[in-house]
Amino acid sequence: MFADAGSRPRNCSGMEEATGAPGSFAVYRPIGGRASGRDGGRVVNRPPSPLTMPSSRHTIGRREFITLLGGAATAWPLAARAQQPAMPVIGFLHAQSPDAYTEPLRGFRQGLRETGYVEGETVAIEYRWAESRMDRLPALAAELVHRKVDVIAATGGHPSAIAAKAATTTIPIVFIAGDDPVRLGFVTSLARPDGNLTGVNFFAEELAAKRLELLRELVPGATRVAVLVNPTSPDSGSTVRTIEAAARTLGLKIQVHNASSSREINEAFATFVRERPDALVAGTGPPFTGRRAQLVQLAAFHRIPTIYAARQNVEIGGLMSYGASLPDAYRQVGVYVGRILKGAKPADLPVVQSSKFELVINAETARMLGLALPPTLLSTADEVIE
C-alpha cells in the first residue's frame, strides 16, 4: 500500500531482524540541497538518508510478507529435488511368468543390494514377462530400449538374451544361459566378452550327463531311458551326444524325443505308452520350464520316474531335480547389473560359470512310484521334500 504524504510509514514488525533489510522499500528520488560555503554555491545531489527520505513509500503488509516466505519455502525443496540425479532404471526381461520365480527374483534383488542398490529406493526396475510366448520377446526388448533403461537383465533362457541383443548394441545386457554363450554368439570368449553382453552360464551339457547318472542310481533296474530334447536349442545336438556317451558308460539305451510345444510334449508321452521307457530325463529351456505342470502331471499319470533340471518341478510334485541353483545364479546377475550401474563395462566382466548346484528329491512322489530312496542319494541331496 502507499502511505499518504506526511504520514508515518508503517513497517512490517520484525522484518529487519529476519532479513537484515529495512522493513519497507522506498522509491529513490534525488533531492536538491545546498552545500556548505565551500561549495561555491553549487547545488549538489546527495543520496537521501533514512531520516530525510520522503514519507510516501511502498510498504509490504504482514500477509504479503508471509506469502513471500511461503513461496520461497515451497520453491526450495522443488529446486533441491531438481538438482538430484535421476534414479537408474533396470530392464528385467524374462521368457517365463513370475509365478515360479519368487526365489530367483529374491536372489536377483540380493545381488543388487550387495552392490548398494535397493529397488524403489536407489534403483527402479521395469519388468517384462513373455509368459512362455517366445514370439513376444522382441517387442518386449524393444519396449525396454525405448524406455532408455540403463542395463537389461535378460533371464529365463537364452531366447531373452537373443531378443535383447537384437534390440540394442549400446545398452549393457546381463544374461543367463544354459547353452554355450560363445556358440550362441553372445560373447567372443568367456574371459573377455568384448561387447555389450556378459552373464552367467549353466554347463547344460555336463549337467545332462549327471542327471542320467542320478536317475540310474534312483532306478537301478532301468535299462531304457527316454530323453526329452528341445530341438530349437542351439546346443541340442551336443547335449544328445553327451547323454548318449554317458548312457553307453552306464549300459543304458537312450530314446530321444524332440519337443518344443505342449502338443509335442503330449505326443512324446503318447509314444511312451507303446515304448514303455523305465525312466525319463526332461529337457531344459523355456519349452520345458514354462510347461512344468504339464510335464509333472504326465509323468505322474504314466508313472514314469523323471528327473528335471529345475527344483520348481519337484516343488509341484516332480520326482527329482538336479541343476544350477537359480537363486544363486540370479544373485550373480544382480551383482553384475549393480557393477555396471556403477560404471563397469560388460566387456571387462568375464562370463560367470555357475558353481552352486542342488539336488532336490520329492520323497512322497518316490513312495507313490514304489521307489526306495538309496541312503547315498539321500545323504547327497540338498533338500528332501516330504
pLDDT in tens, 152-173: 999 998 899 999 999 999 999 9
- What mean pLDDT comes out for the span 136-151? 98
- What mean pLDDT comes out for the span 46-56? 48
Res 316 pLDDT > 50: yes
Please state, rounded to an integer, the average pLDDT across all residues of the chain. Answer: 83
pLDDT computed for residue 32 by the predictor? 45
pLDDT computed for residue 283 by the predictor? 86
pLDDT computed for residue 232 by the predictor? 81
Tell me if 251 sits within 8 A of 220, measured CB to CB.
no
Res 190 pLDDT > 60: yes
Q: What percent of the chain has pLDDT over 90?
A: 63
Distance (Å, whole) CA 206 – CA 203: 6
Res 303 pLDDT > 90: yes
pLDDT computed for residue 199 by the predictor? 97
Res 56 pLDDT > 50: no
- What mean pLDDT comes out for the span 353-372? 95
The model carries a pTM of 0.75
- What mean pLDDT comes out for the span 3-31? 41
- What mean pLDDT comes out for the span 109-132? 97
CA dihedral 362, 368, 369, 371 (to 10 degrees): 70
**Domains parsed from the chain with CATH numbers:** 1-70 (no CATH), 89-202+327-353 (3.40.50.2300), 204-324+358-385 (3.40.50.2300)
Residues 6+ apart with CB under 8 A from 223: 251, 252, 253, 278
Greater confidence (218 vs 100) lies with: 218
- What mean pLDDT comes out for the span 356-385? 96
pLDDT band at 68 (very low <50, low <70, confident <90, very high): low
Sign of CA dihedral 337, 111, 356, 191: positive
Greater confidence (77 vs 255) lies with: 255
Phi/psi of residue 199, nearest 5 degrees:
170, -150
